[in-house]
Each structure stands twice: as structure tokens, then as C-alpha cells.
Amino acid sequence: MQSRFRSDRRLTVRMTVTLFLLGLLYVGFVAALIVLLKSWLLVVVLVGAMFVAQFWFSDRIAMFAMRGRVVEREEYPELHAVVDRLCAIADMPKPVVAVSEMDMPNAFATGRNPDHAVVCVTTGLLRRLEPAELEGVLAHELSHVAHKDVAVITVASFLGVIAGLVVRFAFYSQIFGGGRRDQNTAAVFAAVIGVSAAVYAISFLLIRALSRYRELAADRAAAQLTGRPSALASALTKVSGDIARIPTKDLRTAQAFNAFYFTPATGKEPGIERFFSTHPPLEQRLEQLGRISAELGEAATPGKAG
């Protein structure tokens, strides 16, 4: 079913190109492992099983990692009411609604398709935002579900996860078992580490580029659906400012899942590292919302809820 979220052809093209390139990389990676490890059955079975597990259980994995739990309407009636209203406006299936008991103000969406999706907000977000700001954030997350970029990011990140695990496994095996291996085995392990590291680096850059664009696309779609880009801009400003005041040590666990969050748990605006960030700079997001506000003729200015 097609939702009323405005389609984004540029996002669709970017997702298609990214998946195509990662697909080529994926095939080459598996082929290299088969040649190096000399066991195609082992490689295909393990990689295939992990892919199926990540794709089908991505929502549960994300919920567990980010301490989210499903909540019913009786427990959070206002939150459900906002999601109900937005889903009715967007003409899309209502996702599972969840809450994470975290003080960090944030939200995320996960799931393999609109019929199997979860939208989760933290208690820190619920405490800090006004109703119009919360609506903007939830519209942003719902647009990820409607555009199916949540599923694309889940699939795209799989290759990087596998490559990273292979690097770690090979590295620790070499450290703790190096003395029992001959030179040929050591050369194979070195090759595995080299190929996996290269695959991880390439997939990392491709995913980060797609992730930054999809956040801008979600901001646009949310602003156009609600007609209140200033409320979303206000939420962005407020959430980013509050996260910046949270000690870095308290954000480290959350940073592993930055690609899924409404705004990254970095605690600061990136400098040169913005080219490796999962999100565009706050200034760029606010500037875009300001343009949309002017186009819609909204009286409020970005950064202040109207």
C-alpha cells in the first residue's frame, strides 16, 4: 500500500545504487572467503543464516539493544493518539509503539517493512518535547518506515557487520592461537583480515552516505505531512542541545546505533568527521526546514514551535 508520505525519487535512486554496489561487494566478499577458507558450504551457510537472522529479527535486536519495550494504549494514550493520527493522515499501517527507559532524548524506527515495523521513543524525549514537536519527530520516524529505508539500512549494514565480525574473529584467533599455525595458515588469516577490513571500510562509507541523505529525506517528508516544519526544527534544536549536555561516557552504548536514531548520540556537532557521520549537520537540517517553512508560508520560524 502506497502511503501519503511524498515519494522521494532521489532517495529511491540512492537506496537502489547503494544496495547494488553492496550486492557486488557482498558477492565478492563471499567468493573471497570461500577461496581463502576452502569451504564454500561453511561460508554460505554461516553468512546466509546471519543475514536471515538480522533481516527477520532486526526489530527485536534493536529493541533489546536500546532497551525498548512495547507499550499499550492504556499506558501511553497520548503517544498512541499521535501515532494513530499521523498514520491516518499518511494512510499507512500503524507500527508497533514502544518506549525506551532512557534519559537520552531520541527516537528510532526499525522493522523489515511497514507491516512489521516498530517506532520507539525514549522517556527522555517524551519529557522534553511539546505535543507539536513530538508529532514532528514521530512523523520523521514514520517516513523512514513508509519509504522503506529502514529495511534498506538494515540489509545494507549486514555486510559491514559480517566483515567486522570476521576481522575480530581472525584477529583474536591469530593472537591466541598464532603459535600453533604454520606460515600458510598465517597467510590465509592475514588475507581474510585484509579482505574483510577493505569490505568493512567500503560498506561503511556507502552506508554513511545513504544514511545522511535519508535523514534529510525524512525531515522533508515529515515537515510536508504535518505542515509544521518549525515544530520539527524546534524538536531538532532542543534534542541536539540536550544530548550535547549528556556525558560522553553515557552516550557510548547508544552511539553504535546512531544510524537508526532521530539525531546522533554524539554530544557534539562533527567537524571533519561529518563525512563519516550517520546524520547531516544540525545547521543543514534546520536550513532545509527553514526553506520548507517559507514554501508553505508558515508564520513561525525554524527553531520555535508554531
| Catalytic positions, written as ranges | 141
- Give the Å distances, CA to CA, from 215 to 140, 280, 285: 8, 7, 9
Handedness of CA 293, 280, 97, 267 (dihedral sign): negative
Q: Are strands 96-100 and 116-122 parallel, antiparallel or unpaired?
A: parallel
Sequence-ordered list of residues with C-beta below 8 angstroms from that of 185, at least 6 positions apart, any chain: none
DSSP state string for 32-81: HHHHHHS-HHHHHHHHHHHHHHHHHSHHHHHHHHTTEEE--TTTSHHHHH
Q: Which residue has the cell 561487494?
A: 25
Per the CB < 8 A criterion, the answer to whether 113 and 146 are in contact is no
Per the CB < 8 A criterion, the answer to whether 197 and 267 are in contact is no
**Cα gap 109→132, rounded to integer Å:** 19
DSSP state string for 117-163: EEEEEEHHHHHH--HHHHHHHHHHHHHHHHTTHHHHHHHHHHHHHHH
